[in-house]
Amino acid sequence: MSVPGSFAVLRVLWLLSVFGTVLPLDGGMLFPRESSSREVKELNGLWDFRADGSPNRNEGFEKAWYKRRLAETGPVIEMPVPASYNDITQDPTLRDFIGWVWYEREVFVPARWISDEGTRVVLRVGSAHYYSIVWVNGEKVTEHEGGHLPFEAEISSLIRRDPMKPCRITIAVNNTLTLETLPPGTIQYMNDRTRYPDGFFVQNIYFDFFNYAGIHRPVLLYTTPKVYVDDIIVETNFMDNTGLVRYKVSVQGAATATLKVTLMDKDGHCVASANAPSGVLKVVDVKLWWPYLMHENPGYLYSMEVHLIAVSESSTYEDVYTLPVGIRTVNVTKTQFLVNNKPFYFHGVNKHEDSDIRGKGLDWPLIVKDFNLIKWLGANSFRTSHYPYAEEILQMCDRHGIVVIDECPGVGIKDIRSFGNASLSHHLVVMDELVRRDKNHPSVVMWSVANEPASEMPPAEFYFKTLIKHTKALDHTRPVTYITDSNYARDKGAPFVDVVCVNSYFSWYHDPGHLEVIPIQLNAQFENWYGKYKKPIIQSEYGADALPGLHMDPPMMFTEEYQNALLQSYHDVFDQKRKQYVIGELIWNFADFMTAQAIHRVVGNKKGIFTRQRQPKAAAFILRKRYWRLANETGRLPPWTKYPCSL
Ligand code: GCB
């Protein structure tokens, strides 16, 4: 048998196995919102917590810790939710723990939720890193792979079994990464007893941020009626002055239902309505959703109220769900990124969900502070490097007009074994979950399916072709990209992306200390990528570490002066190329962030223009001046909103 023949057979088998395992997601994942028919009970606060330190990390399962109160199984500590557990105690073994940790909380469910058989009670976890199993009163209700997206389970019948008992929720979370997880990792056992203690192993990761773990986003119970609005899909467009909102409502619990869909403006006035489960709403004198600094009234949101009435088993059910809707379009040409048919230039940041003590736990003061800093900076966009951020953050982006490149956790795909069919099929599921969750956010303008994969490896071609095609089939309204640091000539996935996003660290990782190479190398980078692919380009990362307060002139690496000088050299090239086909620049990074310990990291990555505590380094002022200048030039701001003149 010839080699190409057997290769073709393998390819077919591979395809079959990939698509055989990808099932469409059953049901929607609407963000839980209170309404006249829905209640929400947050379970944030202190949970009982126990890390399974047994040699195989399996004692919790062997002894069925979920069957009784966690405190009866052994010593527990108090653990805040949401938060990463790593930096909460003084114990280095918990900071660096790998394996299963157990959380538990008892909660009293309101009596009506139990007595009213027409009410569904759903337990939802905003996210937990990485693999989770959930039990209620000792019974498994769900499990979920992936650290950055929500999962839920209906628990109505379970909690009705013994109405007098509090409801005991147990969540086991495992942060182990393998070659087939997203992000990938490997566990390495060190068996040389002359060098390592018994049972010693490490988790190798191929990404540059601390692998924080635990329950990172809110846990809550919410109710819906037995017949309920399960999902809403909205696609928007406009013609002249008329906005078009194409919608589709999915209902669960009954074969038929009467629906009333009402679109309201900010003042609560009805601007369009319909009675069908799908259709197009027309909005006269539409107020479009505009990015921050592109319009005097950015982030305009309508409210789409979906009101359902259904009769099932001789009972009448009523459900109300209200979805914020921004009306806007996104298009890509060979040289431009268009929002509402106007050229949009990304002047923004890359971020992380990362802060002192909390790690990756959702924290409102931090979120609001970060938005204030983004707006102070004059940034109009960010990329959710390197995983999906909390929905609460995307809702802020919708309201403030901050444009988002929404990235999945495909970071560190470096090993050829991570291009196999198990990895690809999981990656497809993650994209399903991501698009299902984020499809209705007007702020999300592009999907990024990966960051710096080894895209020059031969299997990358099939992998990214499949992944990008799949993502486009899920959502035909947004462009799709992945972020490359590969060579333009060898990159296998670039033919399939809509926008080329390139990371480069000239005069940092390459030619360290030689700022003079930047104009030549950056110019060549742009010309090569554009010359070969004729697609618009975003400089999706560039930057330099700077320790705040470290100074040297002439500049040396790690000083604030060097960070400034490096950024300015990049900016000179951006200013030439943005007149042609460069459509954006995203600084690496918004703020310093924690990484694994390594000889090239001094308590984390210091490429932030703000410190981890969100204080500006000198570079923040350089960028602020630039971003406001760019906004004044490229945005369509009326003169009275042009700001700050004093810069
Ligand atoms: C990169 C990665 C990012 C790192 C950054 C750096 O290319 O995408 O995750 O943190 O470089 O500072 O090394």
H/E stretch holding 23 reads: none
Instruction: Kindly report the protein residue whose alpha carbon is nearest to atom 9 of ligand 1.
Output: 208
Distance 208 CA to ligand 1 centre (A): 6
Q: Tell whether the model's pLDDT for residue 297 goes beyond 60.
A: yes
What atom in ligand 1 is closest to the CA of residue 485? 7
Residue 172 CB partners (closer than 8 Å, separation 6+): 60, 65, 66, 100, 101, 102, 103, 132, 133
C-alpha count within 13 angstroms, C-beta hemisphere, residue 627:
27
Cα(542) to centroid(ligand 1), Å: 9
Question: Relative to the CA of 593, which ligand 1 atom is closest?
Answer: 10
Tokens 């126990």, located at residue: 50
Structure tokens at 647: 């810069």
Q: What percent of the chain has pLDDT over 70?
A: 95
How many Å apart are CA 288 and CA 296, to the nearest integer?
11
- 505 C-alpha to center of ligand 1: Å? 9
Determine the residue of 205, 207, 208 to mutate for testing ligand 1's pocket, defined as the one with the most ligand atoms within 8 A of the Cβ atom: 208
List residues near ligand 1 (CB under 6 A).
207-208, 386, 451-452, 485, 503, 541, 588, 605, 607
* List of E strands, 99-227: 100-107, 119-125, 128-129, 131-136, 139-145, 151-154, 167-174, 185-189, 201-205, 214-215, 219-225
Q: Whose CA is nearest to atom 10 of ligand 1?
A: 208
The minimum-distance atom of ligand 1 relative to the CA of 385 is 9
pLDDT digits (tens, 9 = 90+) for 252-271: 999 999 999 999 999 999 99
> Measured in angstroms, how far is the CA atom of residue 452 from the centroid of ligand 1?
9
Give the separation between CA 475 and CA 469, rounded to whole angstroms. Answer: 10
Q: Whose CA is nearest to atom 5 of ligand 1?
A: 208
Q: What pLDDT is stored for residue 633 in this prediction?
A: 87
Q: Is the peptide bond before 372 cis (omega within 30 degrees of 0)?
A: no
- Of residues 104, 353, 433, 452, which has the active-site annotation? 452
pLDDT digits (tens, 9 = 90+) for 205-221: 999 999 999 999 999 99
Contact between residue 581 and residue 538 where contact means Cβ atoms under 8 Å apart? no
User: Residue 598's pLDDT band (boundaries 50, 70, 90)?
Assistant: very high
pLDDT score for 644: 61
Contact 148, 362 (CB under 8 A): no
Report the pLDDT value the prediction gives residue 8, as an integer from 0 to 100: 33
* 627-to-152, 449, 583 alpha-carbon distances in Å: 41, 27, 14
Could you tell me if 387 and 407 are in contact, meaning their C-beta atoms sit under 8 angstroms apart? yes
- 8 Å CB contact between 319 and 509: no
More reliable by pLDDT, 17 or 211: 211
The reported pLDDT for the residue numbered 15 is 34
At residue 162 the predicted structure's pLDDT band, cuts being 50, 70 and 90, is: confident
State the sign of the Cα–Cα–Cα–Cα dihedral 367, 368, 370, 375. Answer: positive
Among 309, 242, 250, CA closest to 281: 242
* 441-480 core/surface letters (b: 16 or more CB in 10 A; e: else): bbbbbbbbbbbbbbbebebbbbbbebbbebbbebbeebbb
Ligand 1: centre distance to CA 33 (Å): 36
The whole-angstrom separation of Cα 485 and Cα 508 is: 14
8 A C-beta contact, residue 168 and residue 138 = yes
Q: What is the pLDDT of residue 638?
A: 64
304: closest CA among 341, 254, 354, 270?
270
Please state the three-class secondary structure of 55-88 as a single string. Answer: CCCCHHHHCCHHHCCHHHCCCCEEEEECCCCCCC
Quick check: 203 and 98 in contact, CB under 8 A? yes
Residue range 352-391, pLDDT digits in tens: 999 999 999 999 999 999 999 999 999 999 999 999 999 9
Q: How confident is the model at residue 11 (pLDDT cuts 50, 70, 90)?
A: very low
Active-site residue, 452 included: yes
- What is the pLDDT averaged over residues 422-436? 98
| Residue 5, pLDDT score | 32
Residue nearest to atom 13 of ligand 1 (CA): 208
**What is the chain's mean pLDDT, rounded?**
94
Give me the residues paired with residue 510 across strands: 506
The confidence band for 646, taking pLDDT boundaries of 50, 70 and 90, is: low
User: Above 80 in pLDDT, residue 601?
Assistant: yes
Using CA atoms, how far apart are residues 219 and 378, in angstroms rounded to an integer?
A: 34
Among the residues of 316-363, which ranges form H helices? Answer: none
Q: Measure the CA dihedral 389/393/395/396, to 10°.
A: -150
Non-local CB neighbours of 633 within 8 Å, separated by 6+ positions: none
- 451 Cα nearest atom in ligand 1: 8
149 contacts 433 by C-beta, under 8 angstroms: yes
For ligand 1, the distance from its centroid to the CA atom of residue 388, given in whole angstroms, is 17
Q: Is residue 159 classed as helix, strand or coil in its secondary structure?
A: helix
